[in-house]
Structure 1
Amino acid sequence: MTTALRTVNPRARKSFSVARPRKSIALTVVMLVFLAYALVPLAWLLINASKTQGDLFSTFGLAFGDSFALWDNIVATLAYKDGIFLRWFGNTLLYVVVGAGGATLLATLAGYGLAKYSFPGRKAYFAVVIGAVAVPGTALAVPTFLLFSQVGLTNTPWAIIIPSLISPFGLYLIWTYTIDSVPTELLEAARLDGAGELRTFFTISIRLLAPGIVTVALFAIVATWNNYFLPLIMLSDPAWYPLTVGLNQWSAQASGVAAEPIYNLVITGSLLTIVPIVAIFLFLQRFWQSGLSAGSVKQ
């Protein structure tokens, strides 16, 4: 009996063995190429932000200069033209907090309502949202400028904030995430217990939607932080520029007819611009990954 129990069919042993992941040299090479494509520009930016103005044109791009001037460049960038860089940084934060935050809130409310409530015109509204996702923002920039110029909102922060509040893609993400993450039976049980719709949303649904909300917030923050074309046509006062438009103005000054030797400030300013967005991405990465995987598997 003991011998029979110890005897294992070799075929059965093979069927229960865990298959090792297959290695592909071609895929490894492709991933290394993509990794270099993503990291080499960041390395170039970091290395050149540590060079002086003279070293930028006398040394190879990915080689350090004779002196390490990163801190001096940061101080000069923050102090240039009475600290206009800090003003642009504050403007960008304003546009992100109000614009991206408002877009996340509106997308959450609309996507949740679209997924969990039935009302007349629901399918038509959803078709409009899907159609809006396919329209690029640059295609709407000029009509938006003409509309805002007629009501006198150009060259004001509202010209950037109000268009940023609309996020059809964020609404769609919340809609798909709500369908799989918020059970209808749980909402019905809360209603039977006497909870109102607002209380149900803020005490139950919003906790279940947290990964999806963070995902939408991350997309909205990145889009608003990197927004360039809309502020370029909406704003003419440098005091309201975001970082993207302001740094482009510095770059034009450095390469124009009356060129100023501020290439080191442009590069250092670019480095300082991406640091907050990278920190936000790394901080919200675990929520972002869980949010993207939601809805990919049907139960």
Structure 2
Amino acid sequence: MSIKEKTSKLLENRFGPVFLATLLLCSISLLTRITLLIYSAASFDWSVLNLIKVLLIGLFYDLAAASFAIIPLVIYLWLFPAKAYTSKTSRVLLFIYFFVVVLTLIFNAVSECFFWEEFSVRYNFIAVDYLVYTTEVIGNIRQSYPINTILTALIILTAGIVYLLRKLITVSTYQQTRFSKRTKTAVILLCVPIFTYFCVSHKWKNNSSNQYVNELSGNGMYEFGYAFWHNQLDYDTFYKTLPIKSAANILQHLLQADSASRTDIGTSRTINNGGTENRMNVVLISVESLSAEF
């Protein structure tokens, strides 16, 4: 049996839309990864091994992200009655689902490109913050990019893709599948995200000294979910640091040069000011995330 025949048989199955949705997610994620790779060509550590890592590990995380994304679809295909599934209503629901999925995937791909341009990483807790402080962030985005034009273009592109896939989307609705058989498949598919949650680590991609290799090996949606769930940012990755001993030596040297007397071997000091105390009204203005260009 050829690959085309196997693919056709998979799509004709009741859970064929799951295969199609997974294929779409992996394909768009691959295109996104290639785009980011080309954009970061000057900083990427080019070698055959690194390219293989980016593609294979990247595919692994794409599938991990897909395992979570398909949960609603799996439940729908499992519980929707067999006779009703072959109706026109079912086909309309599938079209709506795939329109939302494709639009979300393409919108995410574009957003990832903008995020990568700004931070040179996949989604992290900064992206989560963007969703929390939507008023400020959306206002800045609307000022920086032609959002209405971009959204219009994405909707037109999505409609075109869904139209081209219309036969593949509805091919599974032309045959009925018994509930018992659907249950077996649904249980297997729903166990995959459970396994992914407990057994897959987002750190598995970090096996290169080149940060671009590591980031391109990941999946933005998977990283976003991890950041949202764990609510943390890797300090050592995003901030320049010194070894603890070197920092301690520098601090001790500065303290020795200070006119204040140290009370112990740590950083505690006694500040002696021989002048008269002045009780002043002080206004402290603090500005967060003010770029150097301003």
Q: What's the TM-score bracket when you normalise by the shorter of the two chains?
A: under 0.3
- TM-score, scaled relative to structure 1: 0.24
- TM-score, scaled relative to structure 2: 0.24
